[in-house]
Amino acid sequence: MLQLTTDLDLRLIRVFLAIVDAGGLSAAQATLEVGQSTLSAQLSTLETRLGFRLCERGRGGFRLTPKGERFEPLARQLCATLADFSAQARDMDRRLVGSLAIGLIGHAPMAQNLRVGRAIARFRQRDEAVRLTLRVGAPAELEEQLLSGQIQLAIGYFWHRVPSLVYTPVCIERQIACCGASHALAPQAAAGTAVDAPALAEASWAWRSYPVAEARAALPGRGPAGASAVADNMEAMAVLILSGHHLGYLPEHVARPYIEAGLMHALNPGTLHYDVSLHLVSRRRGAQDEITRAFLDDLRAVHLEPEARPR
């Protein structure tokens, strides 16, 4: 059983991960520029050092053993930690050294994305050597990552109010009801004729997989529970609407290109809409590290500047 990790062990672990990424020993030969017999021997050495088999290989194909499946994420975490240590040690003379992970929901208004970009530009002017990671995910996923410390801040829709987190509104996003060009209600929508409530209630609607408080009264008929399709992001919602079978809500700026191309139509735009707030969420200032505080200061400064406008 492995008692002390040596340089040899680290090399063997990296070989193991390369084999996993390639999907087998033969496929990893080109990546590692090493013969299959050598790779097999290195893998066997690592297994001997660990005291258990990592994978099955042979005529039946390559697959991880149950212990190999548990070992893989640990190995990746080890390599990532070593890389982060090397980067921080190399840049010790900088004032801000480390990493910063930011979560985004995707398809945010263009002006908001510009503000985040400007904040990053301001941050990069600091005396820093920070590895910046941007992750796009559904609101529930981002909230879990924020609470677990995988990300340091997030921008999106958040319906919970966790006491340990701070929620700061950053912009308002208008959502409008849409139908695809092939939907039965499309001729009325294209002509600007209001669709009556019974027809809307009987139609097949798509809804989000996460609750939005502002949208409670925006879905005709049986409400979100009666929706016949669910999407966890706006691209998926657009696809459902484009099918011509489902009605659904999209952010106005997301729907606009489809509407201009004649692929969608807005439904009763005077009444079928609602506004939702996007929030910047982070831990309370006392629980933030210096890097997070610095970036939040830059983001707040950007929001005080004249409104960001796309060029």
- Please tell me which of 7-16, 61-70, 242-251, 273-282 the model is most confident about, judged by mean pLDDT: 242-251
Average pLDDT score over the chain = 85
What was the pLDDT predicted at 65?
A: 92
What are the start-end ranges of the E strands in the chain?
A: 55-56, 63-64, 96-104, 128-136, 153-156, 165-180, 206-208, 229-231, 248-251, 264-266, 273-283
Residue 295 pLDDT class (50, 70, 90 cuts): very high
310 pLDDT band, cuts 50/70/90, is very low
Helix (H) or strand (E) holding 18: helix 7-22
pLDDT at 277: 86
Query: Residue 58 above 80 pLDDT?
Result: no
More confident residue, 4 or 253: 253
User: Which residues neighbour 30 within 8 Å (Cβ) at sequence distance 6 or greater?
Assistant: none
pLDDT at position 218:
63
| pLDDT at residue 226, rounded to an integer | 61
Tell me the pLDDT band of 311, cut-offs 50, 70 and 90: very low
Token digits of residue 215: 């949208």
pLDDT of residue 170: 86
pLDDT-based confidence at 7, cuts 50/70/90? confident
- Asked if 132 contacts 103 with a C-beta cutoff of 8 angstroms, the reply is no
At 70, list the tokens. Answer: 């548990």
Please state the rounded mean pLDDT for residues 288-302.
Answer: 90
103-116: pLDDT as tens digits: 998 888 888 889 99
Q: Where are the beta strands (DSSP E) in 53-164?
A: 55-56, 63-64, 96-104, 128-136, 153-156
Helix pair 36-50, 25-32: axis angle to 10 deg: 110
- Give the residue-averaged pLDDT of 52-75: 88
Q: Is pLDDT above 80 for 285? A: no
Q: 308 vs 115, which has greater pLDDT? A: 115
pLDDT tens for residues 232-253? 888 999 999 999 999 999 999 9
Residue 43, pLDDT > 70, answer yes
Rounded to an integer, the average pLDDT of 26-33 is: 84
Tens-digit pLDDT profile for residues 137-175: 888 888 888 888 899 999 988 877 888 888 888 888 899
Q: Which domains does the chain have, with CATH numbers?
A: 7-90 (1.10.10.10), 96-170+277-304 (3.40.190.10), 172-276 (3.40.190.10)
Residues 6+ apart with CB under 8 A from 282: 146, 152, 153, 154, 165, 166, 288, 292, 296
pLDDT band at 89 (very low <50, low <70, confident <90, very high): low
Q: What is the pLDDT of residue 211?
A: 65
- Each residue's pLDDT tens digit, 191-217: 999 999 888 888 888 888 766 665 655
Q: pTM of this prediction? A: 0.61
Straight-line distance from the first to the last Cα atom of the chain, in angstroms, rounded to the nearest whole number: 60
pLDDT at 221 over 60: no
Secondary structure letter of residue 88 according to DSSP: H
Half-sphere exposure of 116 (CA within 13 A, CB side): 21
pLDDT band, very low/low/confident/very high, at 183 (cuts 50, 70, 90): very high
- Quote the CA–CA distance of 272 and 196 in Å, as a whole number: 11
pLDDT of residue 209: 75
